[in-house]
Structure 1
């Protein structure tokens, strides 16, 4: 049962190539404070990889997230959905029918009350991750190879670290990047069909030194979200943005700021 001091539960969707365990340095101290956090390992992510398994798509991730969130909502839970990096795309796609606004219209309790993006990829409807990243790449992309089953992997942790852990020492960054696993390649080229953020408050943790999801990409996504609110009951609202000078994976480079931010979005829930 949820702690009544913290009525909202958080569902975390990781970034690509990442196991949910990567976020334990963030999750563990928050759980110690009584916060309820669920960290997912959707189909396109390393935990699901098995040799000989065909590469799933972003839509498989979205369906997985939707099913998990629906189960919590059916229990009457109010949910904050937090997505990092690639996770922003399936998380956004997954929200069809599970926001609290949509469920209340059907006489149901529970649902997603806030979407929070951690330096995430949020394409426009009809676009996909690869388009968004290639349009504004500054730091370049780490080398990616694809195996015979269509799963991507990063063969050079040192080069990956230079892009995603650029706030850390090369040695530590490389050690962290070496923990990444395989990620389904189709997921990067699957178009967004649903702008799930349109019915809920949105928060954004803006990583100003991100060389992967660069500031231009983050700013564009924020603008797209706010544009989607024009002509709706949310017209005039702004994305709640927290800006921090840190790299793409601030679990280590901005741990205190990130922990405070996550605690804050859980406390806010659906409140503006």
Structure 2
């Protein structure tokens, strides 16, 4: 059985953007699309009937919108009686990909990122795309675009890089692979300044590491243009700068068994809150 692309909807404008993104992912991948609305409406007392009507209305409108692009037999809807974040994390166990808006219905406009989106990105078992900023408009899907992928130190970036290349292959886009590095200062004249020997050694090491991380996916997709960019500085600042004008930013998130809380890390927190484009969080064990 094929794993579906899952989209969480709640009737907000942000969830409509997530729906459009999920529809495009399902269409390009040739996968079914599952639209999920989660709510504990039965707890609302007198407002339960109104919330139930909203659930039916939102799911019906979402299915109709999606079927225009994917085809109705491949689109299913599901109403889940649970907290939205809990329901979507559970859905991620059997999903190929999960898309959510960056902020949901009823959340304060001043919030940069909603609690549901943050929780799902931090706990999901499949890649999650938090649709924020710009990115591919639904009016011109699947053609070109720049995908930025953050590559960390050492091993462990395989899944992240593979996902980025997969998206580029589907959308006929290009890759910008970013690795941030730092060089500690020194009191010695020959080891300080922008052209120091120590800095050159760090740059060569970063370039070699980036090349090695990209090699497997690059061999599989030789047709995809790629720009390796080792950059000196704070990873948070470098990735946020790279996200400006990008169509998608891809980052990895380490998942540890039996560990509570959001498994994201400070850099991922920053890009999810401030990136100028949609952010894909790819879990790795």
Q: Same fold (TM over 0.5)?
A: no
Shorter-chain TM band: under 0.3
Q: Which has the higher strand share?
A: 2
State the TM-score, normalized to the length of structure 1.
Answer: 0.28
The one of the two structures with greater contact order (alpha-carbon pairs below 8 A, sep at least 6) is 1
Q: Which has the higher helix share?
A: 2
